[in-house]
Amino acid sequence: MLEPVFIDTWGWVALGQRKEPRHEEVTKLYQSLRARHIPTYTSDYVLDEVITLLFRREPFDQAVRFLEAILAAAHQGYLSLVRITPEYFTEAWDLRRRFQDKPRISYTDLTSMVIMRDLRINRVLTEDEHFTQVDPHATIGGTNRG
């Protein structure tokens, strides 16, 4: 079984913005994940952030095309779009209260961490070090390190 990858906001933004410094690298990684049929996941909260950021940074028609491609990938089964349930929300709230020493972790990241723990996903496509601060077993960048 191929180890699944959770795609965080940064991963989608890097994929959707040609001006992003690591756009080409992330595009190749995403294409590799798809070609190798590696399960990929994201959440509705992550997409909320992506929608907000891309519509601020990109022309309207490009942002629409990119987001519709993500939604089509979910509809076609290439991507699992996880909805934040009341249970996930409560678990993330518990994490928020527990990690009072890490006030810069976004609530969206906490919901992602709850999903990853629940679905036993250890790899995340992000540049956000918060994932390894909370779970030392998480690997960032979409590939295992070490």
Domain boundaries of the chain, sorted by first residue? 5-140
Q: What is the pLDDT of residue 131?
A: 73
**pTM: predicted TM-score of the whole model, two decimal places:** 0.88
Q: What is the DSSP string of 1-25?
A: -PPPEEEPHHHHHHHH-TTSTTHHH
Whole-number Å distance between alpha carbons of 119 and 97:
22
- Token pair, residue 49, equals 């952030």
Among residues 26, 119, 144, which one has the least CA distance to residue 132? 144
Q: What is the pLDDT of residue 139?
A: 58
pLDDT tens string for the chain (146 positions)?
579 999 999 999 999 988 889 999 999 999 999 999 999 999 999 999 999 999 999 999 999 999 999 999 999 999 999 999 999 999 999 999 998 888 889 999 999 999 999 999 999 998 877 676 666 555 546 443 32
Q: What is the pLDDT of residue 34?
A: 92
What amino acid occupies position 41?
Answer: Y
Q: Enter the CATH code of domain 5-140.
A: 3.40.50.1010
Give, in order, the Cα–Cα distances in Å from 124 to each of 6, 7, 21, 115. 5, 6, 19, 11
